[in-house]
């Protein structure tokens, strides 16, 4: 099989999806930096905004901490803590408030037993294996003409795509919860809210692009299997 890792299907399917992913990643960074230049009129920091969302959902047992790095913001359900990056925690920018409220939206999902996040957490351990071994196992199986290995590789990587597919409603729902609270509590003005939405929309597109890469990779493997047969 020529071009073990750079076959024609890789160039036609995977490369365009990877380019889309790079563009989406660059866009979220540029959008975040753009709206990081504008402070909100109330002087609310990211940490304060996250706590307002938590209070709205009566989540008094969730803490908010600072973490190093850029765009490393996340909610950790194991420790029941929202960790906000240095560019978000003490920042009063529109971007910081949007990101912080989004992470608080994830905390609300866990507290309310949001079904898609339960599914995502359930398959997370297997997807970590699949993301590292799925495609290599399938390609080795193709090279050795070992159908069982191909099937295992495809199954493992298909679970990655399922994980990313389930992640989409999780991320969109967290943003929707965040924006609802922002609107109801007037954390941001109407014009500022538009900026926060743009930041969260740009972030959501990175998940769409990641799913596109996974689907393209699976299609590539299926086409390679079909060609061999």
Of the residues 52, 70, 86, 103, which is catalytic?
A: 103
- Closest to 55 (Cα-Cα) out of 104, 88, 103, 112: 104
Which residues face 64 on adjacent strands? 82
| Torsions phi, psi for 212 (to 5 deg) | -60, -40
Cα–Cα–Cα angle for 35, 196, 53, rounded to 5 degrees: 130
Largest CA distance in the chain: 65
DSSP state of 10: I
Closest CA relative to residue 91, chosen from 166, 139, 162, 40: 40
- Output phi, psi for 79, to 5 deg: -100, -5
Helix (H, G, I), strand (E, B) or coil at 197: helix
What is d(CA 120, CA 127) in angstroms, rounded to the nearest whole number? Answer: 10
- Whether 86 is catalytic is no
- Annotated catalytic residues are 103
């Amino acid at each position: 099989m020529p071009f073990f890792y750079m076959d024609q299907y890789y160039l036609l399917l995977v490369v365009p999806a990877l380019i889309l992913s790079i563009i989406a990643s660059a866009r979220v960074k540029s959008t975040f930096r753009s709206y990081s230049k504008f402070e909100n009129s109330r002087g609310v920091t990211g940490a304060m905004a996250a706590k307002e969302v938590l209070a709205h959902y009566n989540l008094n047992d969730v803490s908010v901490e600072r973490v190093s790095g850029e765009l490393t913001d996340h909610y950790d359900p194991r420790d029941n803590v929202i960790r906000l990056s240095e560019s978000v925690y003490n920042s009063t920018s529109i971007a910081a408030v949007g990101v912080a409220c989004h992470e608080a939206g994830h905390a609300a999902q866990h507290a309310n037993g949001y079904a898609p996040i339960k599914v995502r957490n359930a398959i997370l351990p297997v997807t970590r294996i699949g993301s590292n071994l799925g495609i290599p196992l399938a390609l080795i199986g193709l090279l050795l003409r070992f159908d069982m290995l191909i099937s295992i590789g495809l199954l493992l990587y298909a679970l990655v795509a399922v994980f990313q597919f389930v992640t989409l409603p999780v991320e969109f729902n967290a943003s929707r919860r965040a924006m609802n609270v922002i609107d109801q509590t007037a954390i941001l003005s109407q014009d500022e809210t538009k900026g926060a939405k743009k930041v969260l929309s740009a972030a959501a597109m990175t998940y769409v692009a990641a799913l596109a890469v996974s689907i393209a990779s699976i299609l590539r493997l299926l086409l390679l299997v079909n060609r061999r047969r």
